[in-house]
Structure formats: structure tokens, C-alpha cells
Structure 1
Amino acid sequence: MLQSNFLGGSATEFLEWLTPSSLSALSPYSSTLSVLLNQKGGIIDDTVITKHASDAFYVVTNAGRRDRDLAWFEERLDEWNSGPIAKEKGIVQHEILENWGLVALQGPEAASLLQGLTAYDLRGLTFGRSAFVPLEGFNVHVARGGYTGEDGFEISIPPSQTLELTKLLYRPPVQLAGLGARDSLRLEAGLCLYGHDLDEETTPIEAGLTWVVGKERREKGGFIGADAVKKHIKEGPPRRRVGLIVEGIDPFNNAEGAPISTPDGATRLGTVTSGIPSPSLGKNIAMGYVASGHHKKGTELAAEVRGKLRKAIVTPMPFLPTRYYRGES
């Protein structure tokens, strides 16, 4: 992942220009999922933004979009820092946290394991919150969250400490998990993967991410790509991201790009963007985009895989309830 700090007197305004989120409404050390948009409202990347203060934000973007994101940041910073708001409130500086580690500790036992390494009371660190936490002599940025649908933490670690701290965390019952395991979990949780379910031709409204657009910003705009986003909010998008339960015993993998159609296959309605046999459900699940009007819960469609039509039922996401920690009841 690409980790960055954006610092300066107009940092809030700059990031509210780059994204449709209401960052000024965030309290210190709160985070939000957001999107970087191009001028047409397409998604350049999805990102998690943490507000440390009104003039300091920690931003995580996808490693696979590093070159595109860095070029976009540089172009927009040059434009912003020569503008009136930066001159009035102060310019924005971009600090790349080069070679920093980002370790995700996820799952039902994550909190108890991490609590055993710190005097910091993690019960007060709820989903979407972060803090600098002492861990066995290290002081690191810990965010409650992740991309698995489970409770967990994402720990940002300086390069000189990454290996040692990772070894400290890697103790029973912790197991190493690769991107394949993460992909099954994120899909069961209904979470998008950039390059599959999101791209520069897709708006957040089509992607079912209207919630990342601040309520007051849906009318006022003021962010890059606002005209296209506002139009989709007002008129409805031409297509929508949906979840699908795909029938059949054959594993529904390598299904990206599979056509979605009416049940008889006569009319093409969309495309599968992600699909797997769900380990938790014992069913084939997928997400994709279909023409508006065919996106309602329970709609019967068909997905064509390896020349064979398979019944696909539009299903609400997440496919499994998420287990984010929002405090003790």
C-alpha cells in the first residue's frame, strides 16, 4: 500500500477537492473510506483517509495504483498551491512514507492478541478510529479496521521496525494470509477491489458508494468530478453494482468478465467483476454491474461461464454479516 501524509493549513480543503467526502466533519483520529475522482467522476483509486488534525491527514491508497496516484497528487498539488485558498490558509505538502510497513492483523482473536502487547486500552479504539499505540517498546499508528469484514487492526510501521514488529505479532494463533484469502473475505463482505470492481470509467454512484459522498456535497459539489456524480445522484446511474449468488456445484472462479444476461441469455445486461466459491457460505458468490432496473433484490439473471449459462440471483451485500468492533454493548 502507498502511505502518505498531507500537511498544511489548507489540507482539509485540498482533500475535499480531491474527494467527495466531508473530511471537515471528521473528528481527530477518525477515518473514512473515500475515492479519488477524475474530472468525469470516474474512480482513480479508493482510499482510506485518517484525520489527525485539520492540517494533517494520513492517506492510504493502493500499491497497484502508485504511479497513477502520485502523478495525480503532484498535478493537483501544483494547481492547488498556486490558488487562492492555499495562499490564504497555507500550502499543502505531500509526504510519502516510503518503504513503511502496513501490517493487517485481522480476525476474532486480533484484539485479545494485540491487547497482550500494550497497556493501551483497545476497547476504546472502535472501528474507524486510530491512535498511536505503544507496542512492546514501539510506538506505532494503529487503525481499527481492515478489508476483511472482520474485526482487526492495520498497523503502520517505520521501515527500521517493520520486520521486528511483524515477528512480534506472528505468534499463535496468528497465521500468515495472502491476497487469495483476503480476496475471499473482502468479497464475502461485499467490498470492492480496485481494477476489478472499480475503475476510472465507474462513478461512486454506479459502484454503490453513494455513502462516501458527504450529504451536503451532493448538492453543493466543490470536488473534482462533481457534475457527473451529482447527475447520477439526481437521475440515477445507467448501471449498478450488485451481489449475486450463482447456482451450480462447479466453482465459480476465474469469472471476471463473464457476461450477465436475462435468464434465457437473450439480452446482455452487464458483466461479472469478481467471483469466488465462498468458503463460509458453501455457495458461489460474485459481484458485477448490471443495467439499472435489473438490480433489485431477488431478480433472476444468468451468468455465462465457459459457455454455460448459470442462474444468478441478485443478493444484498455483504453476503455475510460484518464483525466490525463498534464498542462494547
Structure 2
Amino acid sequence: MAGFTFIDLFAGIGGMRLGFESVGGKCIFTSEWNKYANETYLANFKVDHEIAGDITRLDVEAIPTHDVLLAGFPCQPFSIAGVSKKNALGMPHGFECETQGTLFFDIERIIEYHKPSAFLLENVKNLTSHDKGRTFRVIVQTLRDKLGYSLSWRVINAKGYLPQNRERIFILGMREDRGLRLENMNIIGPMDGPYLASILHPEDGSEQAEPPYTEGDKAKVADKYTLSAHLWEYLQAYASKHKSQGHGFGYGLVGPEDTARTLSARYYKDGSEILIKQEQGRPRRLTPRECARLMGFDVFGESCFKIPVSDTQAYRQFGNSVAVPVVREIANFMKPWLVDSNYQYASDGQRRLVIHEKA
């Protein structure tokens, strides 16, 4: 099977990379500015190139020619929570957020220069409605009308693959001038997904202890993940206050037969969106190992994603990442256009897609 090359922008800890390596892709360039994310990335992947930092400082000519561009660009300027917070602080959001909102245009300049055969972008579902739809219209017009890509996009909820409600938009582009005919990204996913029991530590000795997450002969979850009495009292009072005001704010208390809320990058603060019931006493946070499973980086009993960083950094990293099984599903959808007989070599020695009508 012929493979294909891809670049991993805003790489985080490699969720997009995992999905595309699973269908034969080879990563030839990585960009991620966060040093802790890089530590986790390097612990889990064989990287034969230097990881580039700030994408705004990248010289596009220094990026190697590639078949596919992957980018889960920062979502905070467009997310519901991010917009609310920035409005409360009187700060700009969306494309007016100079630190993060304009990073889409760095993706644009890389695509414009290298003209990859395809790309996949990921962001929060609110991207389509941000600024009354104007933000998304700019993105579509840029990718389709200016850069010449056939587009398909879809909001996919990861709950069909993982025990978590996590809705994200994926934007797929294929170069029209190479004769690619892109069908709708008709990925719906399973209707019934797994429950939290599939990712929680069993605490019955069937799993080997993994300090500092679990300990003892039964591999019980360490006590440090149980909420303190003070924090638990605070969260209950906070939820009660907002419930009396008709607001939906509060903690998410779940058990093995439930599906969790969305794991966010703020999980390290108090864990309130996903609190695990315990038979005795106060609830607990997920461990970082359970977060790895909840995001699809780990499969219980089959793989063990390395977590070399502190709990705080691990929570941030998994909360900011993509749901790996969803990316893998999209990579499988794209695979017929990216491998095997769809390639030929041009006179410049570069691999190019031939005109291909998908049956």
C-alpha cells in the first residue's frame, strides 16, 4: 500500500497524528508551541524532525511539501465559553482576538503556498454560528473561493465512539484543480456508544497498579483524586445558587453506566464537569489515565499512552485534544483519495494525485 505524507499543525499531543498514521500516513512536519505538550508528544511518537514552535513565525518555504495538512487550530476565540469569558472581560474574540483568532490565516498562507491535496481542520461547533455566521463565511470563502478547495464539513459528536458528549466541527478540503470529486462527509458514527465503565479504573485488581493514579493490590484510585470536603461543599452550594436562579450551571455527577459531559482544558481547576460517584463519601475526579481513555488515546487493556507531565498539564492536554476515534473515522473516509493507485509521480519528483472519480 502506498502511503501519504501529512503535516501536524497545532499538534497538541498528537490526536490528529494518531488518526492519520492508522491509515498509512507519515508525519513529516510538526508545529506546537507549548513545551509541555511537546514533552508528551515526543514521549509517544518517533519524531525524525524538529518540532517547530510559534506558527506565526514559520517560514512557509521551510515546511516540506506534503499531501495532507492537519490543523486543530485554537478554539477559545470561537467557543461559547471562550466568547462569554472574553465578553465579560471586555476582550475581543473570534478573528479580532490577535493572539489566537487570526491563526486561521497562518493556515491559509501555508495552504496557499504548498497547495496540499487535502486538509482537515477541527474546531468547536460554535465556529459556524460565531459572530452571526460571519466568521465561518470568511473561512469557507477563503478555503473554497480563494484557495480553490472542494469543501465538506460536519459537526460530529464523539459519544458514538467514546463515553463523552463532545461535539466538534471537522472541515475537509480537497483540491478541485486535481480533479478530486468530494462527496459529503457522511460520517454519523454509531448511535449507541460505550459508557464510562469502559474507561474507569476497575479497582478490583484486574488492572495493574499505576502510581500515582492507582495504588495497592486492587489498583484503587489514589485518594488525592477525591474532592476535598471544602471543594465539594463549594460546588454543591454553587450549583444550588444557580439552580435557584434558573441557570444550568453546576457539576456533572456520573457513574459507570453514564456518558460524561465534555472534558475541557479547565478540568484541572475543580473537575466539576465530570465527577465520578464513589460508594462511600465524596466524588472524585478522573485520573489522567482515565482522561487518556476518555479521549481515545488509550484502549483499556490494549495500549498505554505515555503521560510524562503533571496532572495539571495532563488535564489541559487531554481537554484540548481531539477525540482520536473520530479522527480515525475521518481518515478512513479520506483514505481512498490518499493511497494506492491514486498517485503518480510528476516530473519534479513530487507525488501528486491523479484525476480520480470516486465510484
Q: Higher helix proportion, which one?
A: 2
Q: Higher strand proportion, which one?
A: 1
Both structures adopt the same fold (TM-score exceeding 0.5): no
User: What TM-score do the two structures reach when normalised by structure 2?
Assistant: 0.26
User: What TM-score do the two structures reach when normalised by structure 1?
Assistant: 0.28
